[in-house]
Amino acid sequence: RLVDALPVSLETMFIPERFLPRPDLLEGSLYAHWAENDIYPDLQDYSLTVHIPSAEELNLLDLPQGVPLMKITLKSRNAQGEVLEYGTAFCLSNYFNFDFRVKLQ
């Protein structure tokens, strides 16, 4: 992903073929496409960790040695519990902000 032509993250997403049979034809938002096809994410699990990048990741993001990345893992499921998407992103933490709200009961 680029922000103002600068690389800020490396992202990989896996989507089962039945939920996106022709990814090459997708234009615009994946979630808008799913809504048009009555596919709705119901639950998303996120994991955030600090990641020490490999030499290849440093090169792709044009970073010096020793710069840690934020690793974000996402798994989305529909109401039936089927996995719609699973992915990881390695991000420069100064370009991303995450706010969480947890409701207990």
How far apart CA 34 and CA 41 sit, in angstroms, is 9
Residue whose C-alpha is closest to residue 73's, from 44, 43, 53: 44
Per residue of the chain (105 residues), give pLDDT as tens. Answer: 878 888 889 999 999 999 999 999 999 999 999 999 999 999 999 999 999 999 999 999 999 998 999 999 999 999 999 999 999 999 998 877 888 777 766
pLDDT at 101: 74
pLDDT at 1: 82
pLDDT at 23: 92
Backbone angles phi, psi at 76, to 5 degrees: -110, 140
Domain ranges of the chain: 2-21+29-95
pLDDT at 104: 60
Q: What is the enclosing helix (H) or strand (E) of 7?
A: strand 6-7
Query: Which token pair is 30?
Result: 């994946």
The CATH homologous superfamily to which domain 2-21+29-95 belongs is Chorismate lyase-like (3.40.1410.10)
Residue whose C-alpha is closest to residue 72's, from 48, 103, 98: 48
